[in-house]
Amino acid sequence: MRRRRTPSTPRVAPVQLTGLAEAHPDDLDAGVLLESTRLAGLDLPPANLAGAELVEVALDAVTGDDLDLTGARLREVLLSGVRFTSLRAGRGDWQDAQVSGRFGVLDAQGARWRSVMLTGCKVDLLSLRGAEVDDLLLTDCHVGELDLTGARLTRVRLEGTQVGTLEAGELRSEHLDLRGATVERFVDLGSLRGALVTPEQVAWWAPALAEALGLRVVGEP
């Protein structure tokens, strides 16, 4: 029996790539076109792929201090078990991308993400500030700070995901599903109006909700 899709279910699917040619770190350059290639088991020096186009590309167990994907266009890209101190992806255009690994900073400010899946990621700072996101699924992730300030989100869901601080100032969202999230601290909780949560989460977050509503919680008279 086919499972019925609910309005909040992100339209994402695992990225499956076959027949890829092995690439070389020397192929990585700003503005380059990488197509049907794979990099595996490498420790990269700081790499500049700003403005590049990656189509059917896999990075498997690749590590490095800094990967610059500013303004890059990604289509059917798999980042599997990668480790980067900083991955800069501001103003990038990602579609059908799957990511797992460890990041100090994953900076996607002002980016355009469609059908993106983050699975088993550990990220100190994930910034989607000012981004436009359609269909994003975070599964079994640990995020120290999730910055959604000024973002526009449609069909975004967190499953089994822990967030230290969630910043939501001026967030615009439709079908934001937080039922699978554990969040320790909120900044501008009022901007999460309309998000899906559980009764248990409402109880846990009662002090933050009271503060956002300007309620004065006092004892019995």
- Domains identified in the chain and CATH numbers: 51-213 (2.160.20)
Confidence of residue 7 (pLDDT cuts 50, 70, 90): low
Q: In this predicted structure, which of 31-45, 184-198, 199-213 has the lowest mean pLDDT?
A: 199-213
* Residue 1: per-residue pLDDT: 43
27 — phi, psi (to 5°)? -75, -10
192 neighbors 172 (Cβ within 8 angstroms): no
Element (H, E) at 211: helix 206-213
pLDDT reported for residue 131: 98
Which residue in 59, 60, 102 sits closest to 83, CA to CA? 102
pLDDT of residue 190: 87
More confident residue, 185 or 219: 185
Pairwise CA distance, residues 48 & 24, whole Å: 14
Residue 199 tokens, joined: 């009764």
Q: What percent of the chain has pLDDT over 70?
A: 96
User: What pLDDT, in 10s, does the model give residues 32-59?
Assistant: 999 999 999 999 999 999 999 999 999 9
Q: In which residue are the tokens 């690749």 written?
A: 62
Instruction: Give the pLDDT band of residue 5 (cuts 50, 70, 90).
Output: low
Task: Give how far Cα 168 sits from Cα of 165, 172, 176, 187, 213, Å.
Answer: 10, 9, 12, 6, 15
The whole-model pTM stands at: 0.93
Per the listing, tokens 């890059």 go with 72
Please tell me the predicted confidence (pLDDT) of residue 214. 83
Separation of alpha carbons 186 and 197, rounded Å:
14
φ, ψ for residue 190, nearest 5 deg: -60, -25
pLDDT computed for residue 55 by the predictor: 98
Label residue 163 by pLDDT band (50, 70, 90). very high
pLDDT above 90 covers what percent of the chain? Answer: 83
DSSP assignment letter at 140: S
Check whether 3 has a pLDDT greater than 80.
no
On the question of pLDDT at 213 being above 90, the answer is: no
> Residue 212: its pLDDT value, please?
82
User: Strand locations in 31-171, DSSP E?
Assistant: 33-40, 43-44, 47-48, 53-60, 63-68, 73-88, 93-107, 112-119, 122-127, 132-139, 142-147, 152-159, 161-167
Is the confidence at residue 136, as pLDDT, over 90?
Answer: yes
Model confidence at 4: pLDDT above 60: no
Average pLDDT over residues 173-193: 94
Contact 107, 90 (CB under 8 A): yes
54-85 pLDDT per residue, tens: 999 999 999 999 999 999 999 999 999 999 99
